Amino acid sequence: MNQEDLTMAVRAVSDRVSVLDIHGDVTAASEHALSDAYAKASTPTTKAIVLNFTALEYMNSGGIGMLVTLLVRAKRQRQKLLAYGINQHYRQIFELTRLDEAIGIHDTETAALAAADAH
């Protein structure tokens, strides 16, 4: 699995919230892509990072580990981590690994952004 299997785009929707659009595969090889995207998304005023999984194609256990690392980084900056666009299969994986207890999962971007701005 190569890092090229993942592309990420960063959208700042406001001073407080950024969206990371994930396209492709999330695996242990995604470390640099995720880290770089997070670094672009996170500013001193950022309060929430929203992960868009609509175009997620593949995720293995290494990828789940990457999300834990991302969560730790976000928490360190006192940022919320939210997600949307997760299909039933990946939603079950979030529940199985109990990541859903720390990453707020929403059906749509609108709902995720509303939750991001809620506090």
Partner 1 sequence: MSAVPTPQPTPQGGNHLPEPTELTPRDAGHWAKQVTRLRLGEVPPEALNLNVTGKRVVGPIQGFGKLWQKTYRVELRDVDVTPAEVIATWKERFGSFWPPIGRFYGPLTSIAPGDVALLNLSPGGGMKLSTGILVLYADEESFTFMNPEGHMFAGWITFSAGQGDGGGTVAQAQVLVRANDPLYELAMPLALQRMEDRFWRQTLTNLARHLGVAAPVVTTTVVCVDRRRQWRNAGNVWHNAGIRSVLHALGTPLRSLRPGRGRPARGGPDPADGPGARG
Name the site residues for partner 1 (rule: CB under 8 A).
28, 53-54, 56-62, 64-65, 68-69, 71-72, 75-76, 85-90, 92-93, 95-99, 101-102, 107-108
Distance between CA 104 and CA 47 in Å, rounded?
A: 14
Shortest Cβ 15–partner 1 spacing (Å): 27
CB closer to partner 1 out of 16 and 97: 97
Decide: 79 and 49 in contact? Cβ < 8 Å: yes
Q: Which of 44, 50, 52 is nearest to 21 (CA)?
A: 52
Shortest Cβ 2–partner 1 spacing (Å): 12
Q: What is the separation, in whole angstroms, between the first and last Cα of the chain?
A: 38
CB closer to partner 1 out of 19 and 86: 86
Shortest Cβ 28–partner 1 spacing (Å): 8
Alpha-carbon Rg for the chain in angstroms: 13
CB closer to partner 1 out of 15 and 39: 39
Determine the residue type at 15: D
